[in-house]
Structure 1
Amino acid sequence: MADELTYALITPYSLLKSRTGGILGRLLSLSNLDFVGVTMFAPSDAFVDKYCATIEEQDCKPSWKKAMKDYINSNFRRVNKFGITNRMVLLFFKGPRALEKLKDEVIGPITSFQGHTIRGSFGDFVESSDGKIEYFEPAVVSAADHRTNDKQLALFAEYLSNDGGVLEDIVKFSEGVKAETTLVILKPFEEQSPLPGNMIDMFSRTGLFIVGIKLLRMSIAQAEDFYGPLINIFREKLKPKPEKIAEKLKEALKSVLTFEVPNAIMNSHAEQLSEQLKDMNAMNEFNKIVQYMTGLDPEKSSPADKKRPGTARCLALLYRGPDAIHKIRNILGPTDSKKGEPGKVRRIYGEDIMKNAAHASDAVENAERERKIIGLWDNKGHCELKEMIENYLRSKGSC
């Protein structure tokens, strides 16, 4: 059976109520589908008009169709009656029977009250005895059928470049509030893992706004650029201690010499070795980080291979708000996950200093540098998700 491409759109209300992490965790872990892309999306009125037209064509109960159109018109427009931002998280999934699996098994029907589905846990649907819909919050919006799915995917491809991507300017703050944007990278996670959602749920405690998100397969070239400043730190911080070298040398020489080497000679050579080995040791540790973040061995990769996307999957997010750098790093905890206080992200989900769950920028200027490296700086240039959708529709003959 051929793979299908479909989508899930986490609604503005769900983001406002900090339900993003819980919903995303369910989407990633329960669908048994390949998670192939994600971005922020704030639709223009032109998109909303065309999207509502695709709903009108669906074959479903008129009252449900009306409820969905009314909801989208009320919530998806940049100027809406609730006065909230229309930021949404748009996710793409691929696999056999992707539409049915996502819609029926994970998201659930709009009338669902069963907690095992996303709408059962995070949505609401209240219908009066005379069939009138009193209240409706779907939590997640997705395609209803294959024909509509293709039309809606084509709409996303048409509007992603203008309505999607980095949405720093869409969230407004009170006069005098100085907002800053920080970068968080959730480090490599397995297929169908709820961990990214769990960590996002913890970050929501900061009260910051998600204004950018990207599924990241970091290339070796990107990782080397991103983590390059660590090399100088490693040279001194991880420099082999002369006394340890002297101790190891002394033990090793016992097996080949019949006399004991004087400590003065041993210590002199240990000092020299420590200085000579610090660069090699620093590069060794640096390459371990690059390999972990990319899934590829930098020492066995050609220059061309180093520019290709890695095999490890990370999730990059932009959080915006006052004191964003400090707030995120505070809830993240220290680099060494074992030294963090209970309740910190790294203490709960980290394993060691390198596999410590997530990276967070330590200054605004570093956040800017890092964002540019991973392609989460602005909305200019090539749109990978647009290309992915168009290639899929073209392969089906729907484009």
Structure 2
Amino acid sequence: MEHSLSYVLVTPYTIAKSRTGGVLSRLLSRLDIELVGAQMFAPDEHFVSRYAALIREQHDGDNAKTSELLADYIEQNLSPSQGRRHRSLLLIFRGEEPCRKLSEICGPVQAERRSIDSMTGENIRDTYADLIMDSDDPDHVSYFEPAVLTPRLQSTSDLHLKMFADWLPDEQNIVENMVYPNPSKVQRSLVIIKPDNWKYASSKPGTIIDMFSRTGLRVVGVKVHRMSVAEALEFYGPVKDALKEKLAPVFGRKAKEQLEAHFNITLSSDTEQALSSSVGIEYAVDQFEQIIEFMSGIRPSQCPLEELNQPGSVKCMILIYEGEDAIGKIRDVLGPTDPLKAPGGTIRREFGSNIMVNTAHASDSAESAKREMKVVKIHDNSCGDIMRSYLAMHA
């Protein structure tokens, strides 16, 4: 069956209530379609007007009343207020029948009226959405929060994707919509949810985001990324010399001990130094190559020069967190590099396996965050290209 694209839009209210991780956990753990793009954006009046108009024009399998309810919600809650735009998160999925599968997991907009005791929390809207009817007028909605928006029909999805593809290229990939009382204390931290979290359908990426939410920081940028070998080499470049300095002497000493035990001889300190400078350095370089392979999918020594800048074969998710003392708060929740030394309740203790496969990366300083954002081209996002390529193929 043909692969198509569809989307889920996480609403400003869901983001503000730090429910993004929970929503993502539901989507990623129960889908056999792939998350191929993500972008945080802040709609303006023109976008909101166009989006609401499309909802009203295309009933999308719903009745006119439901379409009107959704359109009204978009106009009232996605529009800027008091001169400030509000964050929404676009998630793009690719696979067979994405609209049907996403609609089933998100749940209906207007479920049948039932008692609280009969609700199961099976889908996203069961858990995170609200639909409250007026007690005096059962046909009047007094409060509505859908939590997420997703089209039910592929034809509708394609129209919406074209709208996103036309609008997003002019928008920044980092949302700047907040005025802080103490701007000098505000930092940005780059977080990478590493490739080991994306090997199979799993709630881990969403759970990691949910754990980071206890920092009280705001997510202002998101992208799904496939790190090239060149990017990985630049990103982890500072680690290479540190690995040589740390690992080469250890390996040299162990090599000396092994040789002494095997041949029943005593070797000099000069020999240990020679072992450190030769096989010890090679061991450290091999460890560095393993890091690059882990993040990009291929070892630098095995990558043709013409492919160094090509997107890697494994994916990760990059998030930008913003707020006071963002660097320290994120690293406290993440835990130290070695998961075995991480305190209970930290992300690495919960999900990490070893020093390399430690589930996530976070900037260790404001300066590092700026450097890392530049390396991964945080201001670029592939969402627009993905949608335009898909639409061109299905024109």
For the criterion TM > 0.5, the same-fold answer is: yes
* Equivalent residue, structure 2, for 1:123: 129
Amino acid at match of 1:106: I
Deviations 1:92-147 (A, max 9, x none): 001111111111x2101012454111011100112345311111100001123222
Amino acid at match of 1:137: E
- Aligned positions of 1:119-268 closer than 5 A: 119-128=125-134, 129-163=137-171, 165-167=173-175, 169-175=176-182, 178-188=185-195, 189=197, 190-241=199-250, 242-254=252-264, 261=265, 263=266, 265-268=267-270
**3-state SS in 2 of match to 1:218:** coil
* Equivalent residue, structure 2, for 1:111: 110
| Gapped regions of structure 2 (runs ≥ 5) | 112-118
C-alpha contact (below 8 Å) 1:202/1:345 kept by paired residues: yes
* Equivalent residue, structure 1, for 2:386: 388
2:306 to 304, 307, 310: 304
Structure 1 stretches of 4+ moved >6 Å: none
Amino acid at match of 1:247: E
Shift in Å at residue 245 of structure 1? 2.7
Q: Distance in 2 between matches of 1:192 and 1:370?
A: 28
C-alpha contact (below 8 Å) 2:232/2:292 kept by paired residues: yes
Shift in Å at residue 216 of structure 1? 1.4
TM-score (norm 2): 0.92
Shift in Å at residue 344 of structure 1? 0.5
**3-state SS in 1 of match to 2:319:** strand
Amino acid at match of 1:95: G
Amino acid at match of 1:21: G
* Equivalent residue, structure 1, for 2:69: 67
* Equivalent residue, structure 1, for 2:116: none
* Equivalent residue, structure 2, for 1:275: 277
CA RMSD of aligned residues (A): 1.8
Is the alpha carbon distance of 1:272 and 1:233 closer, same or farther for their aligned partners in structure 2, counting shifts above 3 Å? same
- Aligned positions of 1:3-152 closer than 5 A: 3-59=3-59, 60-79=62-81, 86-103=86-103, 105-112=104-111, 114-128=120-134, 129-152=137-160
Question: May I ask how many residue pairs the two structures share in their alignment?
Answer: 381
Shift in Å at residue 351 of structure 1? 0.5
**3-state SS in 2 of match to 1:229:** helix
C-alpha contact (below 8 Å) 2:256/2:275 kept by paired residues: no
Amino acid at match of 2:167: Y
| Gapped regions of structure 1 (runs ≥ 5) | 255-260
Is the alpha carbon distance of 1:223 and 1:175 closer, same or farther for their aligned partners in structure 2, counting shifts above 3 Å? closer
Q: Distance in 2 between matches of 1:164 and 1:5?
A: 23
Q: Distance in 2 between matches of 1:365 and 1:268?
A: 40
Amino acid at match of 2:309: K
C-alpha contact (below 8 Å) 1:42/1:164 kept by paired residues: no
Percent of residue pairs bearing the same amino acid type? 38
**3-state SS in 1 of match to 2:350:** helix
C-alpha contact (below 8 Å) 1:225/1:373 kept by paired residues: yes
More displaced, 87-96 or 51-60? 51-60
More displaced, 58-67 or 21-30? 58-67
Q: Distance in 1 between matches of 2:155 and 2:172?
A: 23
Q: Distance in 2 between matches of 1:384 and 1:179?
A: 28
Deviations 1:177-211 (A, max 9, x none): 52111100011122322111000000000000000
